[in-house]
Amino acid sequence: MTQKTIAEKQDCSVIVIGAGLSGLQAAQSLRKYYSDIIVVEASGHIGGRVRQVEDIVDWPVQLGPEFVHGAKSSLKRIIEEVGCQTREYNWPDYWYFGEERLLIKDAEEDEDLQRVHELFAAVGKTAPPRTDISAMQWLKEQGASKRMVAIAEACYANDFGCSLSQLGLCEMITENQRWDSGDTYLILDRSLSTIVEHLQKGLEGRIRTHWPVSLVEHSKTGVLLHGPSRQTLRARHVIITVPILALQNQSIAFNPALPRDKHAAISRIQMSNAVKVILAFSRPFWPDGFFDVVCTDCFIPEFWVTSYPGSASASQALHCMVGFVAGKKAEDMSHMRPSNIITNTLNQLDQMFGCQQRPRPATGAFVRAHVADWSKVPWIGGAYSYPSLGVRPGDREALAHPVRDVLFFAGEATHPAVNPCMQAALETGERTAAQVVAARDRTCSKL
């Protein structure tokens, strides 16, 4: 059977919906068991939220995930297979207090910073409350000052991909107890598209892009998928890896409907928006060795600088800084014009790094910019799931649980450790592949 006929075949053993990291990993894990896997992708892009822009500076800049979170990340196996080198950074290495116009490097000198870190580090040592509360309410109950709340909003909530009022204490506790990857950030020496290309190997001719699924009809014997232009595909097993928002807005219908506990979990697990502001400058205006800064009471809560070794000669290279905004701030930013977002961002950087001799260093060195608003990306519509206020114990497991041994669910939102990172997507892809094989074995044992 040629690769072309595999992709054109109307009946197969396994179909994976979604060509993001979890979908590609699931397909890769099943290749040794099935020769007729098909991956269908609603968009024209392979890689899910791994995307990049290539016309801002001399190297591709990531629009979605950019860092490997934790030196012990399970993603390191693939990094080693690809042959990537990594640089490790502490996060963050600078702090900027907007109301005080104070930029500091040594966090140990600030008592409020230390107290906030202590509070969040101790979260996993406490039992979940009977009734979930927001991180905002929890901080107030801990006696946090206005300044401490601002630190937590800019650092922890923004990193989780939400706001303090959206962040749920119960899932924060789960995440804290089960996070085992470490606290540093790893940056690859090349684009994350390398990871996507690695996961595509052997799947050539098996991936259909521009194939959105509108209806999933399932029974105990198999699944019928309805796609574009009245096309259909049949399979014994289907793995669904779409973002949680796609399940919430019912862009895919199910007949019969999904079980009540799964439907309820889908409604409670949330994914907010994120915006990246990518800026190119003719010269650096930040301190030597600068990597990342978290900013309180500011338009942009976090900035970082990064580049790939050997991307351009030192005399000609542009310099790149990325601003990251999540949660309600990002949702509000979605209603702004990109030009206004860029102006406000430059004004903040001028305030942060300006001096009497050079009061507007960012504006003076500015070359061009790109605003990436994930709420406006078709078929995705947001950033990533976060520890959500109101999620009940077992919701992530209910979302991940197979239906009738024919429908399987993967993606970072299904990770029981509340892990919204790339490694979670890969781990859930591996998990669903193992579930499919186990279901096949159960069927065979009955024959």
Question: How does pLDDT run across 109-124, given as a tens digit for each residue?
Answer: 899 999 999 999 999 8
- In-domain check, residue 135: yes
**Residue 316: per-residue pLDDT:** 54
pLDDT band at 127 (very low <50, low <70, confident <90, very high): confident
Coil, helix or strand at residue 347 = helix
Same domain? For 369 and 330 the reply is yes
- In-domain check, residue 97: no
Same domain? For 313 and 332 the reply is yes
Same domain? For 66 and 147 the reply is no
| pLDDT higher than threshold 60 for residue 311 | no
| pLDDT higher than threshold 60 for residue 344 | yes
pLDDT digits (tens, 9 = 90+) for 97-109: 999 999 999 777 8
Same domain? For 42 and 58 the reply is no
Same domain? For 279 and 289 the reply is yes
Coil, helix or strand at residue 9 = coil
Q: Minimal CA–CA distance to 98: which of 178, 154, 33?
A: 154
Domain of residue 403: give its range: 3-48+192-269+386-446
CATH of the domain at 228: 3.50.50.60
Same domain? For 199 and 70 the reply is no
More reliable by pLDDT, 192 or 5? 192
Same domain? For 359 and 283 the reply is yes
- In-domain check, residue 359: yes
**Residue 31: per-residue pLDDT:** 95
Say whether pTM exceeds 0.85.
yes
Same domain? For 293 and 156 the reply is no
Q: Please state, in angstroms and rounded to a whole number, the distance separating the CA atoms of residues 314 and 316.
A: 6
- In-domain check, residue 111: yes
pLDDT digits (tens, 9 = 90+) for 285-307: 999 999 999 999 999 999 999 87
Assess contact for 156 and 144: CB atoms under 8 A.
no
More reliable by pLDDT, 443 or 78? 78
Same domain? For 26 and 57 the reply is no
Last residue of a domain, one of 151, 178, 205: 178
pLDDT digits (tens, 9 = 90+) for 327-341: 999 999 999 999 999
Q: Minimal CA–CA distance to 193: which of 9, 7, 52?
A: 52
CATH of the domain at 351: 3.90.660.10
Query: Which of the residue ranges 9-13, 248-252, 253-257, 414-418 would you say has the lowest mean pLDDT?
Result: 9-13
Looking up tokens 């070359």 gives 367
Same domain? For 260 and 390 the reply is yes
Residue 58: CB atoms within 10 Å? 15
384-418 burial: b if 16+ Cβ within 10 Å, else e: bbbbbbbbeeebbebbbbbbebbbbbbbbbbbbbb
| pLDDT higher than threshold 80 for residue 428 | yes
pLDDT band at 309 (very low <50, low <70, confident <90, very high): low
| pLDDT higher than threshold 90 for residue 247 | yes
Assess contact for 361 and 391: CB atoms under 8 A.
no
| pLDDT higher than threshold 80 for residue 315 | no
Assess contact for 263 and 257: CB atoms under 8 A.
yes
Last residue of a domain, one of 376, 410, 429: 376
What is the distance of C-alpha 247 from the center of its chain? 17
Q: What are phi and psi of 94, to 5 degrees?
A: -135, 155
- In-domain check, residue 168: yes
Q: Minimal CA–CA distance to 192: which of 46, 323, 67, 312?
A: 67
The total number of structural domains that make up the chain: 3
- In-domain check, residue 96: no
| pLDDT higher than threshold 90 for residue 73 | no
Same domain? For 66 and 155 the reply is no
Range 14-32 average pLDDT? 97
Tokens of 32: 């040794």
Q: What are phi and psi of 355, to 5 degrees?
A: -145, 180
Burial of 39 (0-12, 13-18, 19+ CB in 10 A): buried
Assess contact for 38 and 12: CB atoms under 8 A.
yes
**Residue 447: per-residue pLDDT:** 55
- In-domain check, residue 410: yes
**Residue 1: per-residue pLDDT:** 39
Query: Which of the residue ranges 20-29, 56-65, 77-86 would you say has the lowest mean pLDDT?
Result: 77-86
pLDDT digits (tens, 9 = 90+) for 353-376: 999 999 999 999 999 999 999 999
Last residue of a domain, one of 153, 178, 203: 178
- In-domain check, residue 132: yes
Same domain? For 261 and 293 the reply is no
